[in-house]
Amino acid sequence: KNEVEQSPQNLTAQEEEFITINCSYSVGISALHWLQQHPGGGIVSLFMLSSGKKKHGRLIATINIQEKHSSLHITASHPRDSAVYICAAQNTGNQFYFGTGTSLTVIP
């Protein structure tokens, strides 16, 4: 049983499309992290949130604590957004559980 489930696994979008990646978790959390991994392995933290909504540029992350669900939205997608997006649940014991990732390809 996976503590964190992400969907979809793979996503192909046309440039400028609005994209949504979903994450459901079963553990009690102190924070939910969204990470971006480009080919070659480097991981960048996009968001850390424990309630509500956060926005950085074209990226928006939301979380519903009652439903144990978070979403990552990308508005006006661009080919440089092509990467793997990973959701990570930080439980109240500060352990991390990761989703399997969503591989996003944005086509010009």
Partner 1 sequence: KAGVTQTPRYLIKTRGQQVTLSCSPISGHRSVSWYQQTPGQGLQFLFEYFSETQRNKGNFPGRFSGRQFSNSRSEMNVSTLELGDSALYLCASREQPQGDFNSPLHFGNGTRLTVT
Q: Which residue from 9, 45, 64, 75 is in contact with partner 1, where contact means CB under 8 A?
A: 45
Instruction: Return the residues of window 9-38 that contact partner 1 according to CB under 8 A.
Output: 30-31, 33, 35
Q: Which residue from 7, 10, 12, 50 is in contact with partner 1, where contact means CB under 8 A?
A: 50
# residues near partner 1 by CB under 8 A = 24
Q: Which of 90, 19, 86 is nearest to 49 (CA)?
A: 90
Of residues 13 and 46, the one with the C-beta less far from partner 1: 46
Q: Which of 61, 1, 68 is nearest to 28 (CA)?
A: 68
Minimum distance, C-beta of residue 88 to partner 1, in the bound complex (Å): 7
What backbone torsions phi and psi does residue 79 show, to the nearest 5 degrees?
-50, -30
CA distance 15 to 94: 37
